[in-house]
Amino acid sequence: MASRPPGPRSVTVGSHTIPVRMIIFWAGATFWIGDMIVHTGWAGIAELRASLYFVIELVIITSATRTIDLDRVASMYCLGGGMMAVMFLVSAVFTSLVPSPDAVSRQFVVPLMEEALKLAPVAFFLWRRRGTRLWSVGASDVLLLAVASGAGFGLVEEAYYHHDLGPTLALDWFPLTRINGATLTVGHATWTGLAGATLGLALLWRPRKPLNYLLAGSGLLWSIIDHCHHNYGVDRRGISVDLFNGITGHGWLSLYFFVLAVIVVIAADLNVIHRVLPPVPELHTPLTRLLSFNKDAVSAWQFLLTRRALAFAGVHYRQEPPSVRSGQLEPVLQGLAGTLVGLRATEAAAVP
C-alpha cells in the first residue's frame, strides 16, 4: 500500500509522518528544560528528577483508575511549564505597576494568578471536551493532569531556588516539599493536585448547585490561601503571620488535605468502575495479556482504559436527564463500545 503524502502541516521522517505542531511542541520543551539545566547545572537536574519522581508516583497510584495515557500526562507537564513562561510575562507587568518587593498586594495577587494559570491547561482540556470526552473521565484523571501541570509549572522556580540557596529538606514521598522549621511548603504540584482532585470529584459526582461549584472550587481556594501563607510569611512576623500559620497549620494541613483527597478520588473512581459495568466476560481482559510485554499488552491496556471510560460515561448516563442522554451521552457510549469491540476483535485475531 502506498504511503499517504504528508499534509501541509506535517513532515515525513523515514516512514513516519509527524505533525508540525508536535515538532514545535517538543522543540519548545527541549529548549525549556535544556536552558534550565544550562543555567542551574546539577541543581536543575536534581529538581527535574524530583519533579518527575512525584508525577510518576501519582501515575502509579492512579494506574488502577485513570483513563488517560502517558502522552497526555507528558503534554500537560510541558504545558504547565509553558504557563510559567506566561506567568513570567504577567508578573513583569504587575511588578512594573507595583515595584516594591514588600508590597502586601504582591503576596496575594501573585499566588492567585499562579494557581489559576497552573490549572488553566487542565480546565481548557476539559472544556474542549465538555460534550464528549469529559463524560468518560474519572476524578483521578483530573487529579493526575493537575499534578503534572503543577509540577511542570514549578520546575524552573525550584531549580533556581536550589541553585541559589542550596537543597532544602523534603519529605520522603513528597520530594517537592520544603521544610522550614515548623512550616511546610507543599509546592506547586501538590497545590494544583489538590485543586484538580476537588474539580474531578465535582465532575464525577455532579452534586446540585451551588454545592457542585463549592466542591469544584474548594481545592483551588485552599491552594490560594496556603500559597498566600507561604509568600506572605517570608521575612514577616506578627499577628497576621500567626493567623496564617493557625489557619494553614503551618502549611501541614495542605499535605493532609492532599493525601485525603487522593484517597477519596481513588475510592470514588474504583466504586464507579466496579459498580457500573456488568460482570460479563466480554468486558474482562486476562492479567497475562497485561504482563506479556509486547504489542498484545499495549492492546490489553488500551482495552482496560476504554472499559473504565465506558464505566464513567455509564454512571453519568444513569444520572443525567433524557435530553443529555440522547444528545451527548449516547454517542459517547456508542463510540466507546465500538472501540471495545474493535480491541476485542484484535485480541481474538492475535490468538492462534
**pLDDT higher than threshold 80 for residue 339:** yes
Decide if 308 contacts 139 (C-beta within 8 A).
no
Q: Left if phi > 0, otherwise alpha if psi is -120 to 50, otherwise beta: which for 206?
A: left
Phi, psi of 185 (to 5 degrees): -105, 115
**pLDDT higher than threshold 90 for residue 158:** yes
**Residue corresponding to grid cell 504577567:** 90
Read off the DSSP letter of residue 326. Answer: I
Cell numbers linked to 85: 513562561
- What is the tens place of the pLDDT at every residue in 276-301? 988 877 777 766 666 666 667 788 88
Q: Which of 219-223, 239-243, 303-307, 338-342: highest mean pLDDT?
A: 219-223
**pLDDT higher than threshold 50 for residue 194:** yes
When computed from its CA atoms, the radius of gyration of the chain, rounded to whole angstroms, is 22
Q: What is the mean pLDDT of residues 42-47?
A: 96
Which pLDDT belongs to residue 8? 56
Decide if 232 contacts 240 (C-beta within 8 A).
yes
Per DSSP, what are the bridge partners of residue 183? 180
Q: Which carries the bigger pLDDT value, residue 329 or residue 16? A: 329
Percent of the chain with pLDDT over 90: 67
Which pLDDT belongs to residue 352? 44
**Residue corresponding to grid cell 542551574:** 40
- What is the tens place of the pLDDT at every residue in 63-112? 999 999 999 999 999 999 999 999 999 988 988 888 887 788 888 999 99
Q: Which residues neighbour 64 within 8 Å (Cβ) at sequence distance 6 or greater?
A: 266, 270
Q: Which amino acid is at 185?
A: T
Does residue 132 sit in helix, strand or coil?
A: coil
Cα–Cα distance for residue pair 193/83, rounded to 1 Å: 16
Instruction: Give the torsion sign (CA, 189, 195, 199, 205).
Output: positive
> What b-and-e string marks burial along 196-223, b requiring 16 or more CB atoms within 10 Å of the CB?
bbbbbbbbbebeeeeeeeebbebbbebb
Which pLDDT belongs to residue 288? 62
Cell numbers linked to 53: 519522581
**pLDDT higher than threshold 90 for residue 154:** yes
Per DSSP, what are the bridge partners of residue 10? 19
Decide if 310 contacts 336 (C-beta within 8 A).
yes
Which pLDDT belongs to residue 84? 94
